[in-house]
């Protein structure tokens, strides 16, 4: 199995354990489109980081969509770090003003993409904007959760044009990674992994260890402190 989106099992201790998942949402995925909003609902950096964990876990390339840019709100400075330091493309969109829709459509052309994001960020509106007025083929992939005020109650796969597949996954609007193994968690931060070779201890968790290259990078501003703080919160470290 490759390029998949799945729930992370708490008993996995390394990234290669991912194929042991019991709850797979999609396979052969090119992009994980993580939708966040400027406002309504308010941007949450820790939720964004949780979705990035899912993408890293399944070797899916993430793409961040900052939606509802027509609303008043501060552009999250963290996004600049993700784009410049992690190489994650960030597209600013608004389905009200049609901003960024063509750019997003070009980015997903001829790809299979899973839309990720909490309820209310505008995933369904973005998918409808991508579809335009054309007729689409809809295939139900699996039964979903259908709880709260979610617009979509089952995972659906849409064919846009000749070769672009878009998957909406309501079951992943709420992510529970509270039981993730610390040894696995540190593997899911590529910016940490890149520096980990400079740590004194090979099993360094980047918390209280001496001579930790990751902590040093945070102190020097090379790693966003907010991202590091989220790492500690997610892992309850």
pLDDT of residue 133: 56
Q: Who has greater pLDDT, 29 or 3?
A: 29
Return the exposure string of 46-81: e unless at least 16 CB atoms fall within 10 Å of the residue's CB, then b.
ebbbbbbbbbbbbebbbbbbbbbbeeeeeebebbeb
DSSP class per residue in 160-197: ETTTEEEEE-GGGSS---TT--HHHHGGG-HHHHHHHT
- Report d(CA 29, CA 31) in Å as an integer: 6
Does 145 score more than 60 pLDDT? no
Tens of pLDDT, residue by residue over 28-40, are: 999 999 999 988 8
> How buried is 42 (Cβ within 10 angstroms: 0-12 exposed, 13-18 middle, 19+ buried)?
exposed
- Report d(CA 66, CA 58) in Å as an integer: 22
- Report d(CA 107, CA 126) in Å as an integer: 13
Q: If you average pLDDT over residues 144-168, what whole number do you get?
A: 68
- Report d(CA 121, CA 223) in Å as an integer: 27
DSSP class per residue in 40-86: TTTP-HHHHHHHHHHHHHTT-EEEEEEE-TTS--PPPTHHHHHHHHS
Does 83 score more than 60 pLDDT? yes
* Reported confidence tier of residue 146, pLDDT bands at 50, 70, 90: very low
Task: Specify the CATH number of the domain 182-235.
Answer: 1.10.40.50
Residues in the chain: 237
Q: If you average pLDDT over residues 50-74, what whole number do you get?
A: 92
Q: Which of 35-44, 117-126, 150-159, 192-201 has the highest mean pLDDT?
A: 192-201
* Reported confidence tier of residue 140, pLDDT bands at 50, 70, 90: very low
DSSP 111: -
Tens of pLDDT, residue by residue over 186-227, are: 999 999 999 999 999 999 999 999 999 999 999 999 999 999
* Reported confidence tier of residue 10, pLDDT bands at 50, 70, 90: low
Q: Are 73 and 153 in contact (CB under 8 A)?
A: no
Tell me the fold of 4-172: Rossmann fold (3.40.50)
Q: Are 146 and 154 in contact (CB under 8 A)?
A: yes
pLDDT of residue 38: 87
Helix and strand numbers, DSSP H then E, in the chain: 8, 9
The domain segmentation of the chain, as residue ranges, is: 4-172, 182-235
């Amino acid at each position: 199995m490759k390029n998949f989106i799945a729930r992370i099992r708490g008993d996995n201790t390394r990234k290669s354990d991912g194929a042991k998942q019991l709850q797979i949402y999609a396979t052969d995925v090119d992009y994980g489109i993580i939708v966040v909003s400027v406002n309504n609902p308010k941007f949450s950096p820790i939720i964004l980081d949780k979705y990035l964990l899912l993408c890293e876990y399944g070797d899916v390339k993430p793409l961040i969509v900052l939606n509802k840019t027509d609303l008043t709100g501060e552009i999250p400075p963290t996004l600049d770090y993700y784009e410049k330091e992690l190489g994650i493309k960030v597209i600013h969109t608004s389905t009200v003003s049609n901003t960024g829709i063509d750019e997003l459509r070009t980015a997903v052309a001829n790809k299979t993409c899973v839309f990720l994001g909490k309820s209310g960020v505008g995933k369904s509106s973005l998918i409808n904007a991508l579809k335009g007025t054309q007729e689409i083929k809809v295939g139900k992939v699996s039964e979903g959760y259908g709880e709260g005020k979610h617009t979509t109650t089952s995972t659906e796969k849409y064919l846009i044009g000749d070769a672009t597949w878009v998957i909406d996954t309501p079951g992943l609007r709420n992510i529970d990674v509270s039981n993730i193994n610390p040894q696995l968690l540190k593997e899911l931060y590529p910016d940490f992994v890149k520096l980990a070779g400079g740590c004194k201890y090979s099993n360094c968790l980047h918390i209280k260890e001496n001579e930790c290259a990751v902590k040093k990078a945070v102190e020097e501003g090379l790693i966003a402190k907010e991202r590091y703080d989220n790492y500690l919160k997610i892992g309850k470290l």
